[in-house]
Amino acid sequence: MTCYDRRDLGLLLLRLGTGGVLAAHGAQKLLGWFGGGGIEGTGKFMESVGYRPGKASATMAGLAEAGGGLLLAMGLATPAAGAAAAGAMAGAAAVHAPNGFFAQTGGYEYAASLGLTSAGLAVTGPGRLSLDHALGHAVNRGWMVPAAFAATAAATAVVVGARVKRLREEKEGRQEALFEE
């Protein structure tokens, strides 16, 4: 008989809560559930904040959130799930950063909290009350943590970097247009 300890229960609660919230956010983007915009509406929003093409950006963010969230909740492929969710939250934090830290003012507090919790779960592991444990950790090996974070960091840097460059170019174009008038 396996005896579970407080750590296993705590990790289960963190995974279920964080994973559930992330999955719901992803469902808003992908399916329009819970008052979300679906691919169309989220795609338009993504375009408006500099993530282009909008529909592709909405799809990728939705998949990272919904997929990463569901996998975290189940405790399956925890390194990849946590890294994917953390990457999506880094992209969200980039949008909210100009508004400061606190969510009350539109800041990145909420995205940072979800991202850091997801990253922490990826590093810590899912605990024994998980599918990873039940499957002998076949998709939760130690080497997978740095590999998942390296891949996610590279992809996030490219996507957020392209957004920053695009926004900078648009701002410069508007300033030039004003100067010419």
Q: What local confidence, expressed as pLDDT, does residue 173 receive?
A: 84
Q: What local confidence, expressed as pLDDT, does residue 180 receive?
A: 74
Closest by Cα among 108, 131, 120 to 18: 120
Radius of gyration for the alpha carbons in the chain, expressed in angstroms and rounded? 18
CB atoms within 10 A of CB 84: 28
Q: What local confidence, expressed as pLDDT, does residue 178 receive?
A: 75
Q: What local confidence, expressed as pLDDT, does residue 34 receive?
A: 96
What residues of the chain score a pLDDT lower than 70?
1-2, 181
Tokens representing 84? 């994917």
Which pTM was predicted? 0.91
Rounded-to-integer distance, Cα 151 and Cα 147, Å: 6
